[in-house]
Amino acid sequence: MTQDRQDRQSQDQRQSPGRSSRKRAEPRRIVVAVSAGIAAYKVPELVRELTRAGHAVRCVLTPRATHFVSPLVLETLTGHPASSSLFGTATPGSSDTTAAEIDHIALADWAELVIVAPATADLLARMTAGMADDLVTAVLLATRAPVLVAPAMNVNMWEHPATRANLETLRARGVRTVGPDAGELACGWEGQGRMSEPVAIAAAASLALGSDSLSGEVVLVTAGGTREPIDAVRSLTNRSSGRMGFAVAAEAARRGATVVLVAGATALPTPPGVRRVDVGSALEMRDAVLAELPDATLVVKAAAVADFRPANPQDRKIKKESLAEGGGIQLELVPNPDILAEVCRLTKEQGSHRVIVGFAAESHDVIESARRKIARKGCHLLVANDVSRSDAGFDVDTNAVHFVSPDGEVEDLPLLSKDEVAAHLLDRVAKIRDGLR
Ligand SMILES: Cc1cc2nc3c(=O)[nH]c(=O)nc-3n(C[C@H](O)[C@H](O)[C@H](O)COP(=O)(O)O)c2cc1C
């Protein structure tokens, strides 16, 4: 019998009928990695949340985390060894805690998701550095599964530039975060640093696990700003970081889709399982999109495409000396093609059931502008974001968006990470697709 089937069977055997009225999710394999923060006392509750949902759970701890939560409690709740040592204890899947050693590679391969809860400042730093000096960091470095961290620490540790930079790096590598929440902290301070509640971490885990709901789909995503050349070295561009589109591409791949990402100006790494096509200008983006369009069953246009480009880009660098003393240059701008409208028109002409999502970045009059835009373009959904907010839109990790439908109906989402927005968006896209086919 495979490890997976054994896990499902043992889960079923442990779950007495009627014990939980909660809807059981598809059983998935989750490693909960615990580090040495005071919030570790909430980990048994998190493990119960996950096992009640039907998941197979294994726990690993940093050596110092054993001061905060007893491995015995975690072993009892999961029915499996909860080790804190790279050298010695038991094999994953074995109920014999005296067996030889836990194979960190086997555990890393077994996981469909690794949750780090609580994630101390120290552990975040070691993850960022790529260390593998204990069982937890070795599993984290070896796994190809998505990783969800639930940071918990004193507010000053949380706000320290080192922690901020570590988080930034980890997020850019695709690590997801949940929390921390603000409130009274165990250390006596008030502020951000409380680990999210177990139920919130379990909900974030469901999002991170995704599903195979997009299996068989070919998803074409555009992301990042375009660069419109002025001369050989200068260009007009915008502040788009590409993070929203990259998050959509990563999530679509996690949900089993074949994903093509047409990327404009961005420094982001390609998400796992995604084919990337790099482009510069809006004209190049149009060519790439039209080349990929025939195979695409879903299109998400999250790129910030320039509306205008310089009419006469120069092949060579414009020399300052070539201008009159103290003189400037006049740039004539001409409109770029409207790629979203073209994709919508072609799809309609082909009688295709392709689902098309557009994005709108607005600095004012957000909803009304978005309603006008969706009516003009003819896509199935428009994601409107208010780029005048400092915590949403361009170049930040969070976004507060509104989903605008062709009939003008609006769904407001709260401030969420871009990964969470991507998950909500693809849930919505799957519903639109199911309605069309
Ligand atoms: C009582 C106590 C509570 C602590 N709580 C936290 C915490 O909530 N968050 C944190 O980042 N570090 C906290 N620390 C510090 C970590 O335990 C310390 O940085 C340790 O090296 C982390 O080890 P680990 O990353 O191997 O788990 C605490 C330390 C003590 C003694």
Q: Assign residue 287 a region: left if phi > 0, alpha if psi is -120 to 50, beta otherwise?
A: alpha
- Do both 137 and 46 map to the same domain? yes
Q: Chain-centre distance of CA 83, in angstroms?
A: 29
Nearest 5 degrees, angle CA 282-CA 283-CA 286? 85
The number of the ligand 1 atom at minimal distance from the alpha carbon of 195 is 8
Per DSSP, what are the bridge partners of residue 61? 34
Could you read off the pLDDT of 422-431 as tens digits, one per residue?
989 999 999 9
Assess if residue 225 is contained within a domain.
yes
Residue nearest to atom 29 of ligand 1 (CA): 37
Separation of CA 130 and ligand 1 centre (Å): 19
301, 340 Cβ separation under 8 angstroms: yes
Q: What is the pLDDT of residue 149?
A: 97
Question: Residue 117 belongs to what domain range?
Answer: 26-209
Q: Token digits for 32? A: 């909960």
279, 306 Cβ separation under 8 angstroms: no
- Do both 48 and 127 map to the same domain? yes
Q: 63, 143, 65: which is closest to 103 by C-alpha?
A: 143
Strands 113-119 and 147-151: parallel
Residue nearest to atom 4 of ligand 1 (CA): 37
Q: What is the pLDDT of residue 3?
A: 41
Pick from 34, 38, 137, 195 the residue to mutate for probing ligand 1's pocket: most ligand atoms within 8 Å of its CB: 38
Q: What is the pLDDT of residue 246?
A: 95
DSSP state of 272: T
Q: What is the pLDDT of residue 208?
A: 85
- Do both 230 and 363 map to the same domain? yes
- Do both 232 and 370 map to the same domain? yes
The number of the ligand 1 atom at minimal distance from the alpha carbon of 123 is 25
Could you read off the pLDDT of 154-199 as tens digits, one per residue?
999 999 999 999 999 998 888 999 999 988 888 788 888 999 999 8
DSSP state of 294: G
The number of the ligand 1 atom at minimal distance from the alpha carbon of 153 is 9
Which helix (H) or strand (E) is 361 found in, with range? strand 355-362
Assess if residue 373 is contained within a domain.
yes
Length of the chain: 437
Assess if residue 11 is contained within a domain.
no
Q: What is the CATH number of the domain that holds 397?
A: 3.40.50.10300
- Do both 240 and 292 map to the same domain? yes
Residue nearest to atom 25 of ligand 1 (CA): 123
Separation of CA 209 and ligand 1 centre (Å): 28
Per DSSP, what are the bridge partners of residue 82? 59
Q: What is the pLDDT of residue 231?
A: 96
Q: Assign residue 89 a region: left if phi > 0, alpha if psi is -120 to 50, beta otherwise?
A: left
Assess if residue 10 is contained within a domain.
no
The 3 state secondary structure assigned to 171-222 is: HHCCCEECCCEEEECCCCCEEEEECCCHHHHHHHHHHHHCCCCCCCCEEEEE
Assess if residue 8 is contained within a domain.
no
Per-residue pLDDT of the chain (437 residues; tens, 9 = 90+): 334 434 433 443 333 333 333 344 558 999 999 999 999 999 999 999 999 988 999 999 999 999 999 999 999 999 999 999 988 644 444 544 444 456 899 999 999 999 999 999 999 999 999 999 999 999 999 998 999 999 999 999 999 999 999 999 998 888 999 999 988 888 788 888 999 999 889 988 987 887 778 989 999 999 999 999 999 999 999 988 999 999 999 899 888 899 999 999 998 988 877 899 999 999 999 999 999 999 999 999 999 999 999 999 999 999 888 888 888 889 999 999 999 999 999 999 999 999 999 999 888 889 999 999 999 999 999 999 887 777 766 667 778 899 999 999 999 988 888 888 998 999 999 999 998 88
Separation of CA 121 and ligand 1 centre (Å): 8
Give the end of a domain, one of 158, 174, 209: 209
265, 225 Cβ separation under 8 angstroms: yes
Assess if residue 2 is contained within a domain.
no
- Do both 243 and 364 map to the same domain? yes
Separation of CA 187 and ligand 1 centre (Å): 11
Q: What is the pLDDT of residue 98?
A: 40
Alpha-carbon span 82 to 80, nearest angstrom: 6
The number of the ligand 1 atom at minimal distance from the alpha carbon of 63 is 26
Exposure string (b/e) for 151-172, b if CB count within 10 Å is 16 or more?
bbbbbebbeeeebeebbeebbe
- Do both 142 and 266 map to the same domain? no
Q: How many domains does the chain have?
A: 2
- Do both 78 and 98 map to the same domain? yes
Q: What is the CATH number of the domain that holds 94?
A: 3.40.50.1950
Tracing tokens 């804190």 back to the chain, one arrives at 84
Assess if residue 17 is contained within a domain.
no
- Do both 249 and 158 map to the same domain? no
pTM of the model: 0.58
Separation of CA 120 and ligand 1 centre (Å): 6
74, 50 Cβ separation under 8 angstroms: no
Alpha-carbon span 299 to 285, nearest angstrom: 14
Assess if residue 319 is contained within a domain.
no
Q: What is the pLDDT of residue 325?
A: 81
Is 344 an active-site residue? no
Count Cβ atoms within 10 A of the Cβ of residue 379 and give its class: 0-12 exposed, 13-18 middle, 19 or more buried.
buried
Q: Token digits for 333? A: 């701008």
- Do both 369 and 273 map to the same domain? yes
Give the end of a domain, one of 156, 179, 209: 209
Residue nearest to atom 28 of ligand 1 (CA): 37
Alpha-carbon span 291 to 155, nearest angstrom: 49
Separation of CA 289 and ligand 1 centre (Å): 49
Q: What is the pLDDT of residue 437?
A: 80
Alpha-carbon span 377 to 317, nearest angstrom: 37
Give the end of a domain, one of 209, 226, 241: 209
Q: Token digits for 125? A: 């730093």
- Do both 295 and 411 map to the same domain? yes
- Do both 119 and 55 map to the same domain? yes
The number of the ligand 1 atom at minimal distance from the alpha carbon of 124 is 25
Residues with CB under 6 Å of ligand 1 are 35-39, 62, 64-65, 120-123, 152-153, 157
Residue nearest to atom 20 of ligand 1 (CA): 36
